[in-house]
Amino acid sequence: MIITNLKDAKQILEAGELLAIPTETVYGLAANGFNGKAIAKIYEVKNRPQFNPLILHSNSLERFKEWGLFLPEAALQLAKKFSPGPITFVVPKSELIPDIVTAGHTTVAIRIPNHPLVLELLAQLPFPLAAPSANISGTVSPTTALHVEKQLGKLIGGVLDGGACTIGLESTIVSFVHEQAQLLRLGGLSVEAIEDVLGMPLDKSKLINNDNPEAPGMLSKHYAPATKLRIGNPEDFLDEYNYDEMGFIAFEKANPNIPISQQLVLSTSGDLEEAAQKLFGAIREADRLKVKIIIAEEFPNEHLGRAINDRLSRAGRN
Ligand code: TXA
Ligand code: MG
């Protein structure tokens, strides 16, 4: 059921049911972060591995402090500049936080999402919201209420409609548990922007392209469409497929040889932010074309292009 009213949203959460929430990155599947039973439903509905911890969301750092969660100085600098926004901080966990949130880890991931409706909801709630992306594990993350409703509508209490996500990629995750800040996941805030504020490089050694024990959710198979997806240029695939059998996800320009109805151009002006915002929707649309293969162009490996390439390479392990 798609809803738009905060009172209904609150009721669903207070009853221990699951509510899909809009954020600026992707839609989240939220439960009361202090209610272990409600949180267990998230794992069940998503078919999410039990070892994969969840992000806690609230509307301010003060709230997190009340719950015993503190940011070290470097993280505070980032939060000042970018929160609310597409960055998640991994910090030591407090006793108040149920182990099911952190999947038994001694650290917890926290984030302040930048979406007016959800900030208002969070301000009215006496608890944080535990929320992973609102999709079945392994499939593309949702960036509209309808994406969630179609996949999970019958299994959850409701979907709070807050429009299309403005960033379109999950948050960038940075861990502050060790001396040097560690980048755990590329995402909607660029590495360049983060390093600029920190005045030093992030440790990227924990950012592994496949199964990463430090961010257990970064399993190699993720964001997978049903149709085979590969990264490259259409020309490279002519041995096996002809142009009519291809779908193409392009950055700026369509390919002159592929039927135009089978192509998704993400930003004709070459804007990486616009491309990021449209990426997951484009993967879904390409999947509906019923082509034999979806080819996605490689993006420039800078700013949000890095996170786009990361998501495409995961989608391409199908
Ligand atoms: O933008 C986002 O971050 C969205 C919206 C809904 O906030 N959420 C999201 O959640 O992408 P999810 O569950 O799909 O991805 C969370 C990632 C997973 O890879 C998980 O392993 C990692 O965060 N994570 C959570 N807690 C962690 C922790 N304590 N240490 C390391 N990684 C953690
Ligand atoms: Mg996810």
3-state SS string over the chain?
CEECCHHHHHHHHHCCCCEEECCCCCCEEEEECCCHHHHHHHHHHHCCCCCCCCEEECCCHHHHHHCCCCCCHHHHHHHHHHCCCCEEEEEECCCCCCHHHHCCCCEEEEECCCCHHHHHHHHHCCCCEECCECCCCCCCCCCCHHHHHHHHHHHCCEEECCCCCCCCCCCEEEECCCCCCEEEECCCCCHHHHHHHHCCCCECCCCCCCCCCCCCCCCCCCCCCCCCEEECCHHHHCCCCCHHHEEEEECCCCCCCCCHHHEEECCCCCCHHHHHHHHHHHHHHHHHCCCCEEEECCCCCCCHHHHHHHHHHHHCCC
In this prediction, residues 17-34 reach a mean pLDDT of 98
> How confident is the model at residue 318, as a pLDDT?
81
pLDDT of 223 above 90: no
In this prediction, residues 294-302 reach a mean pLDDT of 97
At 90-101, the pLDDT tens digits run 999 999 999 999
Would you identify the CATH topology of the domain 229-315? Answer: Rossmann fold (3.40.50)
At 51-76, the pLDDT tens digits run 899 999 999 999 999 999 999 999 99
pLDDT of 210 above 70: no
Q: Is the CB of 91 under 6 A from ligand 1?
A: no
> How confident is the model at residue 222, as a pLDDT?
74
In this prediction, residues 150-176 reach a mean pLDDT of 98
pLDDT of 301 above 50: yes
Q: Are 286 and 247 in contact (CB under 8 A)?
A: yes
pLDDT of 50 above 90: no
Q: How far is the CA of 241 from the centre of ligand 2 (A)?
A: 31
In this prediction, residues 269-292 reach a mean pLDDT of 97
In this prediction, residues 34-50 reach a mean pLDDT of 95
pLDDT of 19 above 90: yes
> How confident is the model at residue 220, as a pLDDT?
55
pLDDT band at 213 (very low <50, low <70, confident <90, very high): very low
In this prediction, residues 180-189 reach a mean pLDDT of 96
* Closest atom of ligand 1 to CA, residue 131: 6
At 305-318, the pLDDT tens digits run 999 999 999 999 88
**Mean of per-residue pLDDT scores for the chain:** 95
* Closest atom of ligand 1 to CA, residue 108: 29
> How confident is the model at residue 39, as a pLDDT?
97
pLDDT of 216 above 70: no
CA 156, distance to chain mean position in Å, is 19
Sorted by where each begins, the domain ranges of the chain are: 2-198, 229-315
Looking at the DSSP bridge assignments, the partners of residue 229 are: 294
Ligand index nearest the alpha carbon of residue 219? 1
> How confident is the model at residue 221, as a pLDDT?
62
Q: 62, exposed or middle or buried, with CB in 10 Å at 0-12, 13-18, 19+?
A: exposed
For the segment(s) 2-198, the CATH number from 3.90.870.10, 3.40.190.10, 3.90.226.10, 3.20.20.70 is 3.90.870.10
In this prediction, residues 197-220 reach a mean pLDDT of 71
pLDDT of 219 above 60: no
From 173, 183, 211, give the residue whose CB has the most ligand 1 atoms within 8 Å, as the site to mutate. Answer: 173
> How confident is the model at residue 212, as a pLDDT?
46
Q: Is the CB of 108 under 6 A from ligand 1?
A: yes
> How confident is the model at residue 292, as a pLDDT?
98
Q: Model's pTM, two decimal places?
A: 0.93
Q: Are 216 and 232 in contact (CB under 8 A)?
A: no
Q: How far is the CA of 133 from the centre of ligand 2 (A)?
A: 4
